[in-house]
Structure 1
């Protein structure tokens, strides 16, 4: 494990208070985990290191840093995570001072199934060098299975300070994911509108644990099970049986359990294709991997059964199973306030159901939650705090801009305000396809508006008129009102797809440009909102 690897290499030499800073930024908790494991070990060995969160880091001290270890994840399609955005923007500003004194190394975290794998870490690594800093150790790029790579990076870096023999009394510190998960019971589940395409479900989960807590703006991580039809098809494609014994990461499973609960089969990644090529030696797969555009398209439209169908290989099941990564948790925004619904957690989950290659492809977690489990079923979930998407501490106005299931955290926001008897002026801008079937929680929003808890709401249903209207158009339509709310201290919250988030930002700049001529002032205005923690994004 990470800490163990560090212990074997690190010695007792003390550094000055500012000699080594471990700086982290990310949303899932992995970057923070790696940074904290390193920092904890340093403290145990008398090292005067600092641990710093990018979202709170004082950028003015960067030119005075001596050694900087950066651990940062990448969000969506190559975007910096919200927790790192402020640091990222300052780093890439035109007036950033030179960093000739600084020596650094970057540990970039990402998911190789995305095209821009570890993009934020790569960009920070390059920018630090451009500013005159010296790369003390080459950047490492960590996939979702990061322990070994991160441990090697940390131990190699720290090995440069190594003196004497390793301490034999070092503790064995490792992450225990089981302790982070809570058991939850499905209390209720129903489609918000049975005519919607795709269907969107409301789930009510109960958690009977005194330590369970969450805040509006948080997400929950749920480890799914793969669709039964896909599992059966794969077993048939492999010419095997459900009871066949398979070894995966030194543990024995039946083939059915392995495919259902242990490995990722609804999506594939470049790394998986490369591993499969190594064992299959398939020339057609080698040809595909040499064409960037074609293999990226293949990743977006294919799953494990496509891989085995398109590039057949008859080999050992144990060898084949080892190339697959463990099944990955999926994140969902919390759609409730625990103060309004004690011991409950509400989610809204869109069913992913696509027709690809003449087959119906289901999302692993959305089908698991919406089709396979029933009321009374026990599942495990972990709360993922989102400190960058919190309600203001005072009664400042809030502007909530969401599309589709991006409305979920705003339902939680409003429940929290009602439970706390707070009277923040609240403006909702919501968008979907059709008003008659996609206006999620419409009666709740109307009730909040009638009671003046919700000050204003504007909607954009893109398929209900000849000209498509989206949330950003509502922002531009009410440009002056938008500016007035901002001038009164409003916080802006944007939740939805990465593309939607970009469009909203452009619309905000366009709207403010009407009031703040020229346009450059509008850009600076938005950046100042971010600097003051008044512009919040939760994009996926």
Structure 2
């Protein structure tokens, strides 16, 4: 799903009326294709101009900036740079987390790929960039041009908000749009490719005096097969065991995969992507509700699909989106759904989507004679799920370990499960095969061996810290390590307890503080343990320690962040504003890193 906004290009009134009429008749992808087509025509004409005009101007300086939380925006940005390079265009690629913001005043053309985190926030590593750009010190950018590709999730009320903020702010600072902003849903591949093609053709058309040279055939290297999101490796499951005690109120599993023969490598802090399939029971219920047959065949994007297989392996069939809501409102003619689609009902629409799966909408607003191709066209492609790696390749070569807590809850009186976590818990056994790939996370990395680290996590958020300790143990790292871990009950939920005790004994882990929220009359969490150890935490930070947070984004992350600021206020004897600056400097120096979900 992609949307754009009109910047008002300089056209004659007659030309503008033609553009408006055509735009009203085209969909987003058609408009993107057309922009690329027109750019191609312009390039052909300008190539003629170059032959006639030897004084044609050269290309402007080009920078690609990306802001990412999980790595998707980084992946797209790298693909954009590769596409530009193939057309002979040189560009600089920068992560917003590392970009020197003072360079903004010198930029000419900016291509920005940015994701939105949670309810409209920028990615955590990009916060410093946003604060500078939206602050009073931001420079005027009257000579600059920009284009933005925004990644988001349309089930959230503030869809692609980070990209929208940048788009508006750059305009306010005087920069001119190279093209319309494009807002992408989680199935961003096609829209991102169309945006990339259009931008590449546009810039190539302008680079009239820049010659391109094809590389000699002899210099082309044969690249070995690379396993990634689009070409996952079939990994065999080695183990899948419960790691909570009998009587636990939670369900947490330790899962191991073999990566032997894949050539895949990873670092502590990275994630494993799993290409999961939908629960057969959920698929069956959905097909029954549609009054269709699993064996029904239909055409979709020039392919013949089987309905049962398509709903099992290709499409998201649980989470409803505005796109699906629009489709079902048209089909059902339900007034309640039409009301939710109005622009001023964004909050209500978001709440409805979070409390209704697709099957709930089908049951509540029934429709007869649903065409399978129309139905799947309203669904999003099934997306891989990411899990923080709980292992270090240095300790367990050719293996990838995960700590998985199945997502389970009741909705409308029916038990529901997470797509991948439910599959791993209920249907996966040793020797099962899963398509997997590595998702790099450069914003959650160990420092050099002699630097102290403070690790804060709850539940499965402890996974990357197991990888950290394995890595430091193998390397013989001398830096101090301190773990704050929280769960419900000491007796049943102390994940990897024996391993932590071993690391404490051999000195790999120097300190460990735990909080088990259900063991006492009052609930205690990791932030309470942090307050108790405030003096020592601040002393470690003053020594140069790196601090990490992994776990729940809704509660753990903001509570720990607030506690950290309070600790700096108290122990640093400074005011709240100065404490926030202190913590912000930790973030900009990559000494405060988060992996939250």
TM-score, normalisation: structure 2: 0.83
- Return the match for 1:357 from 397, 412, 419: 412
CA distance in 2, matches of 1:333, 1:37: 24
What residue number does 1:521 align with?
Answer: 578
1:258 aligns with 2:310: yes
Alignment size in residue pairs: 534
1:397 aligns with 2:446: no
The change in CA–CA distance for 1:487 and 1:438 in structure 2 (over 3 A counts) is same
1:437 aligns with 2:489: no
What residue number does 1:47 align with?
Answer: 89
Give the alignment of 1:365-380 within 5 angstroms. 365-380=420-435
Residue pair 1:18, 1:48 contacting (<8 A) in 2 also = no
The change in CA–CA distance for 1:7 and 1:452 in structure 2 (over 3 A counts) is farther
The change in CA–CA distance for 1:179 and 1:141 in structure 2 (over 3 A counts) is closer
Give the alignment of 1:113-512 within 5 angstroms. 113-157=155-199, 162=205, 180-193=231-244, 194-209=246-261, 211-290=263-342, 291-314=345-368, 315-499=370-554, 500-512=556-568
Higher alpha-carbon deviation: 177-186 or 497-506: 177-186
The alignment partner of 1:393 has SS state of coil
Runs of at least 5 residues in structure 1 that lack an aligned partner in the other structure:
none
Cα offset, 1:457, TM superposition: 0.9
The alignment partner of 2:590 has SS state of coil
CA distance in 2, matches of 1:432, 1:126: 43
Runs of at least 5 residues in structure 2 that lack an aligned partner in the other structure:
1-28, 51-55, 216-225
| 1:272-317 deviation per Cα after TM superposition (whole angstroms, max 9, x unaligned) | 2123223433323213334434332221122221121011112212
Cα offset, 1:213, TM superposition: 1.0
What residue number does 1:84 align with?
Answer: 126
| 1:81-112 deviation per Cα after TM superposition (whole angstroms, max 9, x unaligned) | 24423322332344333333322221111111
Higher alpha-carbon deviation: 37-46 or 423-432: 37-46
- Return the match for 1:75 from 114, 117, 132: 117
Cα offset, 1:381, TM superposition: 0.7
What residue number does 1:532 align with?
Answer: 589
CA distance in 1, matches of 2:299, 2:517: 50
The alignment partner of 1:380 has SS state of strand
| 1:110-165 deviation per Cα after TM superposition (whole angstroms, max 9, x unaligned) | 1112222112111222222333433443322111232443344445555655369x
Residue pair 1:6, 1:154 contacting (<8 A) in 2 also = no
Residue pair 1:65, 1:102 contacting (<8 A) in 2 also = yes
Instruction: Supply the RMSD in Å over aligned alpha carbons.
Output: 2.8
Residue pair 1:6, 1:151 contacting (<8 A) in 2 also = no
The change in CA–CA distance for 1:57 and 1:17 in structure 2 (over 3 A counts) is farther
Structure possessing the higher radius of gyration over alpha carbons: 2
TM-score, normalisation: structure 1: 0.92
The change in CA–CA distance for 1:159 and 1:417 in structure 2 (over 3 A counts) is closer
CA distance in 1, matches of 2:506, 2:495: 19
What residue number does 2:23 align with?
Answer: none
What residue number does 1:22 align with?
Answer: 64
Residue pair 2:64, 2:111 contacting (<8 A) in 1 also = yes
| 1:261-281 deviation per Cα after TM superposition (whole angstroms, max 9, x unaligned) | 111012111222123223433
CA distance in 2, matches of 1:488, 1:436: 35
CA distance in 1, matches of 2:493, 2:133: 41
The change in CA–CA distance for 1:412 and 1:178 in structure 2 (over 3 A counts) is closer
What residue number does 1:9 align with?
Answer: 39
Higher alpha-carbon deviation: 316-325 or 237-246: 237-246
Residue pair 1:198, 1:353 contacting (<8 A) in 2 also = no
Higher alpha-carbon deviation: 429-438 or 352-361: 429-438
The alignment partner of 1:263 has SS state of coil
